[in-house]
Amino acid sequence: MRTKARTTSPLTELERKQERSPVPKDWTYAPAPEARDIVSLRERYGHFIGGEWIEPAETYTTISPADEEPLAEVGQATPEEVAAAVTAARDAFENGWSEISPAERAKYLFRIARVLQERSREFAVLESLNGGKPIKESRDVDLPLSAAHFFYYAGWADKLEYAFPNRRPRPLGVAGQIIPWNFPLLMLAWKIAPALAAGNTVVLKPAETTPLSALLFCDVVRQAELPAGVVNIVTGDGRTGVEIVKSDDVDKVAFTGSTEVGKAIQRELAGSGKKLTLELGGKAANIIFDDAALDQAVEGIINGIYFNQGHVCCAGSRLLVQESIYEPVVEKLKRRLTTLRVGDPLDKNTDVGAINSKQQLEKIEELVSAGAEEGAEIYQPPCRLPEKGYWFAPTVFTNVAQSYRIAQEEIFGPVLSILTFRTPEEAVEKANNTPYGLSAGVWTEKGSRILWMAERLRAGVVWANTYNRFDPSSPFGGYKESGFGREGGRHGLEPYLQFDGSEPFGG
Ligand code: NDP
């Protein structure tokens, strides 16, 4: 009797099922590809101007960096097309948008946020397809944060008087916005949400290599019934960006990208009276003290540099390790690197996806060769990279001197340079020894040391016992060659406003 009861118990059923199923030969994961068919791409996209699709005069092909497969034909905006977009934005600003009540403006932003949430899977797949980033990152980071940005700034739209008391905030007019390819939709949200909340209209140019999520966003704009011309999207390469910057009818330029282009834009706008914000590069120090929880710190190092293939302006690309724990940290790090899965961005198991473009891959390869030639020791875990597409294995450099190019220049790829320090003073000195000043990380169990370090690090953001954390309510931006102006939070509204009243109350 007892035997019979056991054979019908659920556990035994499970055991029986297992016996029938094939036994895994090893413990490598099976692929878990996200279905691609939720995205329907058009063959050809125009520019989105005045609420309409405008047939482009010139086009180029946008591809998937994971396999170089062409995805669609996209417009390369001419000076006339940029001018038409700016005129549409001006008309929309003067004929309605600047006059509707702030509470109405907020409703549009809330709608956009909700539509983004509803269509998040579609956007996530498209973002990974066109940009090469792992689907788990576009799904769990880019999309939720993009929607959160619109929700957050929707909340401010009718409270500007409270955000800037006694200053009578007013919109500027038309904002020209130029964004990079590392977080295409998220950077769009960072730019468009505060601009609209403050009552402006916009002309935005996505990066040449990643235009598709911005073009799909035009659909969201229509779904939210945003008045025509409030958001205009023109695609193209740097030449299109130049036209936006030069346009006399643009009141404010917001740029995220390289320091080199940022400086060129600043030169172009000097003396023009136009407002400008620049979010540029970085070479952040991620600093590990000997009292840090090492396993968590190793996760933080991995997240700091291999998240989004290291295509992150605030990436923790310089690891500063206290000398006494150098060996265990390097050993743990190398072991952890062997578990990173590099490959198909649409596979839900992938940790490191494709490099965004051939040009970026060449830049990474060039700097990595320079590191090896200068005398640093290179480590890459064994991993098989796909044959087609743009790929680079996660890389760690040890024996790095401060003067090496890999310790000075922004690589913008999955490449970490490890340096050591003995005292907190030395850590600060080394961390600040860079032309950049965007972000830093500190790992220690002592709260007082975190505060001591944060006070001395010349970086716009300092993370403590974590890395790469973002929140729409938290201002983000740099010092020195990392740019100026802040995005996010109440600070992120200010560059999109002009003021009649007295000086800021409380900053
Ligand atoms: P860019 O600064 O060239 O690109 C950023 C954006 O500006 C893109 O939309 C680009 O168009 C546009 N642009 C290019 N030239 C001009 C111009 N003269 N006037 C106005 N807009 C212009 O960066 P890259 O894409 O070339 O990347 C180069 C390096 O920059 C990377 O290796 C990385 O180190 C750094 N970078 C830093 C980023 C950050 O967030 N801090 C983001 C991206 C890059 P187009 O797409 O055609 O180039």
What string of DSSP letters covers 420-438? Answer: EESSHHHHHHHHH-SS--S
| Residue 320, beta-bridge partner list | 287, 419
Q: What is the DSSP string of 352-370?
A: B---S-HHHHHHHHHHHHH
Instruction: Estimate the crossing angle of helix 184-197 against helix 102-118, to 10 degrees.
Output: 160
User: Mean of the per-residue pLDDT values for the chain?
Assistant: 94
For residue 506, the model assigns a pLDDT of: 42
Per-residue pLDDT averaged across 117-131, rounded? 98
Taking the CA of residue 304 as centre, how many other CA atoms within 13 Å lie in the half-sphere pointing to its CB?
34
- The model's confidence at residue 29, banded by pLDDT at 50, 70 and 90, is confident
**How many whole angstroms from 111 Cα to the centroid of ligand 1?**
30
User: What is the rounded CA–CA span in Å between residue 171 and residue 102?
Assistant: 11
Catalytic residue among 81, 313, 481, 494: 313
Q: Given this model, what pLDDT does residue 3 score?
A: 42
For range 467-487, the mean pLDDT: 95
Q: Looking at residue 81, what is its pLDDT?
A: 98
Comparison of pLDDT for 76 and 9, the residue scoring more: 76
pLDDT surpassing 90 at residue 369: yes
Residue closest via CA to ligand 1's atom 5 equals: 257
If you search the block for the tokens 């940290």, which residue do you land on? 329
Two tokens, residue 446: 């002592």
Atom of ligand 1 nearest to the CA of 262: 2
**Tokens coding 98:** 């600047």
- The alpha carbon dihedral of 72, 140, 482, 369 has a sign of negative
Pocket of ligand 1 (CB under 6 A): 178-182, 205, 207-208, 237-238, 241-242, 245, 256-258, 261, 264-265, 280-281, 313, 360, 363, 410, 412
Residue range 318-345, pLDDT digits in tens? 999 999 999 999 999 999 999 999 999 9
The pLDDT of residue 507 = 39
Q: How far is CA 11 from the centre of its chain?
A: 47
Q: Using 50, 70 and 90 to split pLDDT, how confident is the model at 24?
A: low
Using alpha carbons, select from 323, 394, 369 the residue that is nearest to residue 134.
394
- Tens digits of residue pLDDT in 496-506: 999 986 555 44
Average pLDDT for residues 92-117, to the nearest whole number?
A: 96
pLDDT digits (tens, 9 = 90+) for 74-97: 999 999 999 999 999 999 999 999
Is the pLDDT score of 5 beyond 70? no
35: left (phi over 0), alpha (psi -120 to 50) or beta: beta
Q: Cβ neighbours of residue 439 under 8 Å, at least 6 residues apart? A: 282, 284, 314, 316, 459, 460, 461, 462, 463, 478
Q: Is residue 7 scored above 50 in pLDDT? A: no
Q: What is the pLDDT of residue 30?
A: 84
pLDDT band at 177 (very low <50, low <70, confident <90, very high): very high
Distance of CA 451 to the CA centre of its chain: 27
The secondary element (H helix, E strand) that includes residue 94 is: none
CA-CA distances (angstroms) from residue 279 to 257, 260, 266, 364?
A: 7, 12, 12, 21
Average pLDDT over residues 395-418: 97
251 contact partners, CB below 8 Å, separation of at least 6: 172, 173, 174, 175, 200, 274, 275
pLDDT at 136 over 70: yes
Per-residue pLDDT at 10 = 55
Identify which of 208, 244, 258, 439 to mutate to test ligand 1's pocket (most ligand atoms within 8 A of the CB). 258
Calculate mean pLDDT across residues 106-123: 98
Question: pTM of the prediction?
Answer: 0.93
Please tell me which residue, 9 or 120, carries the higher pLDDT value: 120
Mean pLDDT of 349-359: 97
> Is 279 assigned a catalytic role?
yes
